[in-house]
Amino acid sequence: MKKSLNYALCYAALAMVGGVFYREFTRVNAFDGTTALGKVHTHFFMLGMVMYLIITLFARNYDLYSEKMFKAFRAVYNIGVPITGIMLGVRGVFEVLGTELSKGASAAISGIAGLGHILTGVGLVLLILTLKKCAAKSEITS
């Protein structure tokens, strides 16, 4: 459980840094509008901090950390979420600065962000399968 709380704390810190950066960067550049940069904050809070707080609650009832699939979840998920957040930040900085991206550069940013989303999705599936396995074990022993 302590590991999950540490992950939650790290993602909360990333979310706060993302939020402060968004607010100050747009203010300094006199940007008034919507940008992908504003989504960094909520992605890290929800997909990072809140997810790991929920996992902590499950860890109280199930031995998640002994499951191989949970270890795979953690590895895949903790690569996917930061990639997604970073690429949202990159896209948002270009939007705020008004930088015109070439088709190739725009596609590269979208592609890498897409890979981050895919890894996050695969991680979520691994987590659900782990929880199903733990629940089945719990039903057998109950």
**Domain tally for the chain?**
1
Amino acid at position 115, single letter:
L
In a domain, 142, yes or no: no
In a domain, 99, yes or no: yes
* Residue located via tokens 């199903």: 132
In a domain, 141, yes or no: no
As a whole number of angstroms, the distance between CA 51 and CA 56 comes to 9
Taking residues 7-23, report their average pLDDT: 97
Amino acid at position 12, single letter:
A
| pLDDT at 1 (0 to 100) | 84
63: which residues sit within 8 A by CB, 6+ positions away?
A: 134
Name the residue range of residue 14's domain. 2-136
For 124, other C-beta atoms within 10 Å of its C-beta total 16
Tokens read off for 42:
């909520």
In a domain, 122, yes or no: yes
Could you tell me where the DSSP H helices lie in the chain? 2-28, 37-43, 51-61, 68-97, 103-141
Task: Convert the pLDDT of each residue in 50-92 to its tens digit.
Answer: 999 999 999 998 999 999 999 999 999 999 999 999 999 999 9
In a domain, 53, yes or no: yes
In a domain, 45, yes or no: yes
